[in-house]
Amino acid sequence: MRILVVEDNRDLAETMIERLQGEGHVADLEVDGDAASILLSHAEFDLVILDVNLPGRSGLDILREMRARQTSTPVLLLTARSQIEDRVLGLDAGADDFMVKPFDFRELTARVRMLGRRFAGSATNEVSYGNLVFDRNSKRALVDGRDIDLKTKEVQLLEILLSNIGTLLSKEDVADRLYSYEEAPSLNAVEQHMTRLRRKLEGTLVQVKTVRGLGYLVYVDDA
């Protein structure tokens, strides 16, 4: 998943980024509320981890702005306060989940997986299409019960594709979800990753069709 972490405690934020990247996610960081609000008004993420107390705009204000724009991106709120009133305010503002600091990073990554499943409309970490099985938790893909050797970007790309079955994705869409802002990808890199992944998916029902000038169409060939 492409995740935005909005947290002004840099030590905590950098640890979260490291953990999320270790789980195979693409993660960006913003430490200022006003800057995060501007970013979220024109960029798309699969999940936002949002601290309530920020310099500039508060996390609750950012969340209310997102929901006013009809943005359905899942939001996990973080707060140092455990009062029930704070949780009610956050949930009423449109938060999908809530964590009180300090928290265990294992719980954080588990909640991230849960929100990813919920947003994808899946009840479990495992998805399957015929002889292809992909586990979002372990980041393993199996064909006919055998592991296929996927590099980190290929795992991330496969997760993007399986979350967008039947959807036409432009190369720019894929690049936006596959790379953080610090990585500065090229569209040629997207093509290379797609080509390698296609080879590894040969013999499965998941097909990726190139639509010239538009991008990629992911579909299940169950004919």
Using alpha carbons, select from 147, 30, 42, 48 the residue that is nearest to residue 90. Answer: 48
- Residue 77's pLDDT band (cuts 50, 70, 90): very high
14 with 64, same domain: the answer is yes
pLDDT of residue 126: 82
Residue 122 has pLDDT above 70, yes or no: no
In one-letter notation, the amino acid at residue 34 is D
Residue 221: pLDDT over 90:
no
Q: Does one domain contain both 95 and 8?
A: yes
CB 63 within 8 A of CB 77: yes
* pTM, 2 dp: 0.77
Residue 130 lies in a domain: no
Give the separation between CA 171 and CA 56, rounded to whole angstroms.
Answer: 34
Q: Is the pLDDT of residue 56 over 80?
A: yes
Distance between alpha carbon 173 and the CA centroid of its chain, in Å?
A: 13
Same domain, 8 and 102: yes
What pLDDT is stored for residue 123 in this prediction?
57
Residue 91 confidence (pLDDT): 87
What CA–CA distance (Å, rounded) separates 200 from 182?
28
For 152, the token pair is: 């980190």
